[in-house]
A and B are shown apart, each in its own frame.
Chain A
Amino acid sequence: MAFDDIGIDASLGLGEQASAPGIDRRSTLRALVAGATTTAVAGTAAVGGLTLGSRPAWAQAATDADLFNFALNFEYLGAEYYLRGLTGQGLSASLLTGTGTQGPVIAGGPVPFQSAAIAQYVQRLAVDELAHVQFIRAVLGPAAIAEPAINLSVANWSTLAIAAGLLVPGQTFNPYASDIGFLLGAYVLEDVCVTALAGAARYLTNPNDLAAAAGLLGVEGYQAGGIRTLLANVGAGAATDAISALRARLSGVGDNGTLANGVAYNFVNTDTNALAFRRTPRQVLNIAYGAVNAPAGGFFPSGVNGNIR
């Protein structure tokens, strides 16, 4: 894909976006500060919408191990994407085994990084996701799922980009062709991991598991915030908005690109209470599979492994 197609200024650094100088939220912020009571009442309604102690149908039988295995599918996906993007090689064989059906990885990469800085950002992402795979597998022990079939092909990325309206049928999106393309691929994945972990936290029963999940969630948040910042600074806002809109459409849960909320640098993805969005496993799978209520597809052509799927 040529980035001209989606309006990205490829110059790196803290660029000023053409649309930015006219945007100033200070007047909005002044009104917001002045309107304390009104907004607080709005917050009450949002909190009241949560039902104390109830577990929805999907979570009735979900154990901590089930929830960690669900997350492990996405750590496999992220680790394969970053490792292969950086080195051309994915997870080692000893990290792929487990319960369920182990599948092949259809992969791309390595990326011919032009910026040493971007390569280092990706290096940190790869190290993190590899460590997450190792950590979760160690926590689960023999209950850990095998790596499912994963599709990171240019064809799959292109399908996603067409669904997002970034491309027209016949064009291709190859995230392994350029630094910025690879960051856009990372954008597709990271916010989803945040919403999955944030959505699952309340259903964990063991305090140690909750501490571990909070640690995982924190790191996914760091990653997502950094990627959003890098993309906003190179003027990739329109592309991030299109990807966010696709995720929102597939999941039924809000999702904001970097041009949302009246700024050109929306580096967070949050609801009106400034809480990160939370998604159920099914909502997450709709995004990963690229279709609502599909049994498999997209990044996981044979579906994910584990009891939650």
Chain B
Amino acid sequence: MDLDEIDLQIAPSASDPEPQEGTGRRSALRRFGLRAAGTAAAIAAGLAATAEPAEAQAITDTNILNFALNLEYLEAEFYLRAVLGYGLQGSDTTGVGTPGIVTGGSAVPFTSQAIAQYAQVLAVDELTHVRFLKTTLGAAAVAEPTINLSTSFTTLAVAAGLISPGQTFNPFADQISFLLGAFIFEDVGVTAYAGAANLISNPNYIEAAGGILATEAYHAGAIRTLLANIGAGVAANAISNLRATLGGGNDQGLVIPGQAYNFVASDTNALAFRRTTTQVLNIVYGSTTAIGTGGLFFPSGTNGAIR
């Protein structure tokens, strides 16, 4: 993709000393700060009324961890290929279910040593998550499913309105495109783990999922910060909007009214969004009607009971 095609909105850079609208925000914040606690009481009542969704009734911890493993396979392949030019090898890919093939992905020609190092940290973390989950699951771990990193990004970018049909978006073409590719995944990872946390019964797995959730949130916060500082708000917002359309809302753009550096995605209680497994699958399948069949990043579906 030529970045010009994506129409990056140039937000003020972090070095911009212009006062901007900081004063207005501060007064707005003061008003917010004076808000009575009564407002929040109603919100909490809404949360307390939340019941376990029907889809969660028969789900086991193994099902949940295997669902997460599919997402970690996807992220690990994306980052490893971006850094090294090749992905997971040998025993890192084996398991129950139908083993797939991974298409696409190539070493990103990083021109910033800094961005290259961010990518390396991401690659190590997601590789480690794959191994941690596979070790935890043991013989029950699913095999790596078929993953599409070749045409999927262009399909997604067209759906998001970033490019027109006939144009291509290749997140491996340059480092900014790479960061946008990472942006697609990280917030989804956060919502998936946050949404699944209370479906897990074994305290050890709750602790592990919490640890991975936080790591994904570190990733997402950093990617958002890097993209905000280079003024990629319009592109990021388009991706966020698409995720919201597919994933039941539960998303927030990088540039929102009064805030050009929205490095956190959260609801009005400042809680990270929680998505159901179906909402997560709808995003990575690129469709709200592909449960059980797959699409986009997982053209043959994920492996495991939740698919």
Contacts and interface: CB of A to CB of B under 8 A. Distances in A.
Interface of A: 11-17, 20-21, 23-26, 29-30, 32-34, 36-37, 39-41, 43-44, 46-47, 50-53, 83, 86-87, 89, 91-92, 94-95, 113-121, 123-124, 126-132, 134-135, 137-139, 141, 194, 197-199, 201-203, 207-208, 210-226, 228-230, 232-233, 261, 263-278
B265 A222 contact: yes
Nearest to A274: B128
A159 to B, nearest CB: 28
Contact of B114 (A16, A41, A141, A199): A16
A86 B260 CA distance: 17
B240 to A, nearest CB: 14
Given A218-B214, A219-B272, A273-B132, A211 B47 contact: yes
A119 B22 contact: yes
B236 to A, nearest CB: 14
A94 B218 contact: no
A170 to B, nearest CB: 32
Interface string B243-272: 000000000000000011111111111111
B76 to A, nearest CB: 9
Given A14-B229, A228-B222, A23 B117 contact: yes
Given A29-B80, A214-B274, 13 more contacts: A13-B229, A23-B117, A33-B88, A95-B37, A113-B22, A123-B29, A124-B262, A138-B37, A201-B207, A218-B194, A225-B225, A230-B14, A267-B118
A223 B228 CA distance: 14
B280 interface: no
Interface string B269-306: 11111100000000000000000000000000000000
Contacts of A94: 36-37
A297 B222 CA distance: 32
Nearest to A23: B117
Most A Cβ at <10 Å: residue of B118, B123, B127, B197? B197
A271 B124 CA distance: 12
Interface string B49-64: 0101000000000000
Interface stretch (B148-156, B162-170, B198-206): B198-206
27 contacts: A14-B226, A15-B114, A33-B127, A39-B128, A41-B135, A46-B132, A95-B37, A116-B18, A128-B264, A134-B35, A203-B203, A212-B271, A214-B194, A218-B213, A219-B264, A219-B270, A221-B221, A221-B272, A223-B264, A225-B217, A230-B225, A233-B14, A233-B229, A263-B120, A265-B121, A269-B218, A276-B213
A132 B50 contact: no
Q: Is the interface of A mostly helix, strand, loop or mixed?
A: helix
A120 B268 contact: no
B26 A123 contact: yes
Contact of B198 (A36, A126, A208): A208
A265 B118 contact: yes
A41 B92 CA distance: 12
A47 B114 contact: no
B270 A135 contact: yes
B209 to A, nearest CB: 8
B299 to A, nearest CB: 24
Interface residues of B, number: 106
Given A202-B207, A208-B198, A223-B264, A36 B91 contact: yes
Contact of B214 (A32, A40, A276): A276
B267 A275 contact: no
Contacts of B268: 131
B242 interface: no
Contact of A86 (B29, B92, B136): B29
A220 B131 CA distance: 25
A268 B274 contact: no
A15 B13 CA distance: 12
Interface stretch (B1-9, B38-46, B98-106): B38-46
Nearest to B264: A222
B270 A132 contact: yes
Interface in B181-230: 190, 193-195, 197-198, 202-204, 206-208, 210-222, 224-226, 228-230
A228 B226 CA distance: 11
Contacts of A228: 218, 222
B197 A275 contact: no
A267 B103 CA distance: 29
A115 to B, nearest CB: 6
A115 B135 CA distance: 46
A139 B41 CA distance: 7
Contacts of B190: 218, 221-222
Most A Cβ at <10 Å: residue of B50, B212, B266? B266
Nearest to B79: A29
A126 B29 contact: yes
Nearest to B272: A218
Given A208-B50, A211-B50, A226 B40 contact: no
A268 B213 contact: no
Interface in B80-113: 80, 83-84, 86, 88-92, 112-113
Contact of B224 (A52, A213, A222, A276): A222
A53 B204 CA distance: 7
